[in-house]
Amino acid sequence: MTDTAAKQARYRSLVVTTCEWRAFGVDDPQAMADRVFARLRERSGAPYLRQLYKAVDDVVAATYQREAAKRSMFDFVGLRGGRAGGAPKSDIDRIGTALRDLPMRDIVLLRQAYWDQLTPDEMAEVNGGTAASQALKCDVALARLKMKLPPEVAGDPAEAMRSIKPGTHWR
């Protein structure tokens, strides 16, 4: 097995999971993963996981662009038949609202840690820095999420992050 084939086998479930939550209901995550790995075959240079996430970004963007001609943007963001007054109805809605109130860098770290299930070493490869710095940043982001969660949402904020992951695929 070549090094590229070994990496593809190792990271396929990560790519499927990431494609699913980033383009939930827009396209088949398995087909999107195939397109990600096709793009990776064309690249070289940067660390592999950084390239992998860049390829996922490119495939997700291309998927939304392709689908934009077929669907309204409201379908993508779930605004059809929205809630009266925007009031949250469940803990999932409350957690999602708290998450959206965080800075984007925190959201990215929390998604990588709890949805993509990246290790601190893998996060360091994707984002730069060291594994220790990524773990610390993730802990800080999790603390910020906990501060934003309303009191009626009890429990562990890490478990709360895992609970709102869309889709069925896990790494």
DSSP 75-110: HHHT-TT--GGG---SHHHHHHHHHHTS-HHHHHHH
Q: Is the pLDDT of residue 130 over 70?
A: yes
pLDDT digits (tens, 9 = 90+) for 35-62: 999 988 877 666 788 999 999 999 999 9
Confidence grade of residue 126 (pLDDT, cut at 50, 70, 90): very high
Mapping DSSP to helix (H, G, I), strand (E, B) and coil, where does residue 44 land? coil
Task: Quote the mean pLDDT of the chain.
Answer: 82
DSSP 146-160: HHHS-TTS-S-HHHH
Q: Report the percent of the chain where pLDDT is more than 90.
A: 39
25-29, 41-45, 48-52, 70-74: range with lowest mean pLDDT: 70-74
Domain ranges of the chain: 1-82, 85-165
The stretch 6-19 carries a mean pLDDT of 90
Q: How far is Cα 145 from Cα 99, in angstroms, rounded to an integer?
A: 6
39-43, 153-157, 165-169: range with lowest mean pLDDT: 153-157
Q: What is the CATH number of domain 85-165?
A: 1.10.10
